[in-house]
Amino acid sequence: MKAYAGSVRSRRRSGNNAIEFALVMPTFILLVFGMMEYSWAFFMRTGVINSVRSGCRTAVVVHPDDDPAAVAEQAIEDALLIYTIDCQELNTTCQINTSLSGSSPSEQLDCEVEVNYEPIMAGLVTAPTQIQAATSMVLELQR
């Protein structure tokens, strides 16, 4: 009689496991996809920040006869390509603004980038729609 009672208990227990799995699995999947979405957003944010910093840094050390703002824009676009952000694509919206301010010996270059962010899984979790970064650096070789 005990063998029979044990098999009934194990069948009930396996039913409980299936119900617990069905209740926990959607939450687990949402958690995993949320981590993936935010990881990608932070990767893109870090890429935009690093691109602005390196592009602006490239421009502040150019010869004074070159246009630092134009050099910065091109360097920022090139750096964004490393992070799979192509500003030349039709569906990617990048806005790169560079400007010179001040006068010698404290002339500085201001660089700003604004990129529209496309979530991996739209609607699953809330994510930022734009990623922005800005930096200012003093020109090393003054005019």
pLDDT band, residue 104 (cuts 50/70/90)? confident
Average pLDDT, the chain: 85
| Mean pLDDT score, 98-104 | 87
CA atoms within 13 A on the CB side of 5: 2
Flag whether pLDDT at 102 surpasses 90.
no
Flag whether pLDDT at 122 surpasses 90.
no
Read off the pTM.
Answer: 0.77
pLDDT band, residue 127 (cuts 50/70/90)? confident
Residue type, 105: P
